[in-house]
Amino acid sequence: MIGILLVTHGEFGEEIKRSAELVIGPIANCTAISLNRDDSISNLKDKVDEALENLNQGEGVIALVDLIGGSPFNVCSVTLKQKRNFKLLSGLNLSMLIECAMMRESMEIKELTQHCKQTGIDSVIEVNP
């Protein structure tokens, strides 16, 4: 099973995981890492490294981060350049996480990454009366 790593500012990752679980039930092999105000970047990097190792069951890991250019994104980007053993998407939203969790057993990681990206894009719409 493809692992899911959520790396976000504050408790957003844990809370969006809880919200997704309200919709689809428990999400196995998924970890949320929070970056809070007084946390060190080196500690965040260590947590990301450890989580990537723990989540990878042989099919890879998708890391979903909240904000391009933020510290969670930057840490994951540097890690990706060093390890290249996971996929990274920014712009985490609830639709993206739900699709990732539901479709990860029926797709290879490359296809799943593109599917999650498109889901994130498609879930942002303007509604006009």
Domain boundaries, given as residue ranges, for the chain: 3-122
Mean pLDDT (whole number) for 107-115: 97
Q: How much is the pLDDT for 85? A: 82
Q: CA–CA separation, 51 vs 117, rounded Å?
A: 22
In CATH, the number for domain 3-122 is 3.40.50.510
The helix/strand/coil state of 25 is coil
pLDDT in tens, 15-44: 999 999 999 999 999 999 999 999 999 999
pTM: 0.96
Give the H or E element holding residue 64: strand 61-65
Phi, psi of 98 (to 5 degrees): -60, -45
